[in-house]
A and B are shown apart, each in its own frame.
Chain A
Amino acid sequence: EPEVTQTPSHQVTQMGQEVILRCVPISNHLYFYWYRQILGQKVEFLVSFYNNEISEKSEIFDDQFSVERPDGSNFTLKIRSTKLEDSAMYFCASRETGSPQETQYFGPGTRLLVL
């Protein structure tokens, strides 16, 4: 069964460093998403991406965040200068179409720890 994959599974970084989280969505999906889950809290929407541009972003997604689809398969989330409060699990998700009836399939997550 096709699945969303994410790398790395865990990343530890120093405050102020840049990190890039990588995702490979399901191959025929066209809508891509990043979500964040701070430890013990709920899953929060960060950004949605379609047709090589951002469709929607949340208040959390400020100028230190960016997303890119550098080739036909990868979808990346870059955090330019990490802060302690960026420590969280980051989930990538993809959906075949933009219809909300379509299930979003989530990747296994990248656990980011900022020291």
Chain B
Amino acid sequence: AQKVTQAQTEISVVEKEDVTLDCVYETRDTTYYLFWYKQPPSGELVFLIRRNSFDEQNEISGRYSWNFQKSTSSFNFTITASQVVDSAVYFCALSALNTGGFKTIFGAGTRLFVKA
């Protein structure tokens, strides 16, 4: 079975702090894809990143960076120098064809509060 665990329910930081959101996944597939989505207070889901299981290179996009570690089945997300506009719920998600069909499995989400 596939599963995504985001153990941090809520995180509160002060602006300019760095913050890491944890994600641990489970799948029996050898080929799978991991995603992060942002859900601001307005409710829409905003795609942030996709990684495939064969590419463990870390990725950086501006203030955002992602650390993919297959050995620990983790795909953590770091925001550097957080800003108030980063306040949102962040979802980690997994997609794998053989055991997951065509769907995406989401974690429970981490609510990030960034205070000015």
Contact = CB atoms under 8 A, between A and B. Distances in A.
B55 to A, nearest CB: 11
Nearest to B111: A40
B33 A100 contact: yes
B44 A31 contact: no
Given A44-B106, A98-B102, 20 more contacts: A33-B104, A41-B108, A42-B109, A43-B45, A43-B106, A45-B104, A48-B101, A50-B102, A56-B102, A93-B104, A98-B97, A99-B97, A100-B31, A100-B96, A101-B33, A103-B35, A105-B47, A106-B47, A107-B44, A108-B44
Interface residues of B, number: 26
A98 B98 CA distance: 12
Nearest to A100: B95
A109 B95 contact: no
B43 A89 contact: yes
A22 interface: no
Interface residues of A, number: 29
A11 interface: no
Contacts of B93: 43
A55 interface: yes
Contacts of B96: 100
B77 interface: no
A104 interface: yes
Contacts of B100: 100
Contacts of A44: 106
A61 B43 CA distance: 22
B102 A100 contact: yes
Nearest to B29: A100
Contact of B43 (A31, A58, A100, A108): A108
Interface centre among A43, A105, A106, A107, by most chain B C-beta atoms within 10 angstroms, is: A43
Contacts of B109: 42
A43 to B, nearest CB: 4
- Residue picked from A41, A91, A101, A106, most chain B C-beta under 10 Å: A101
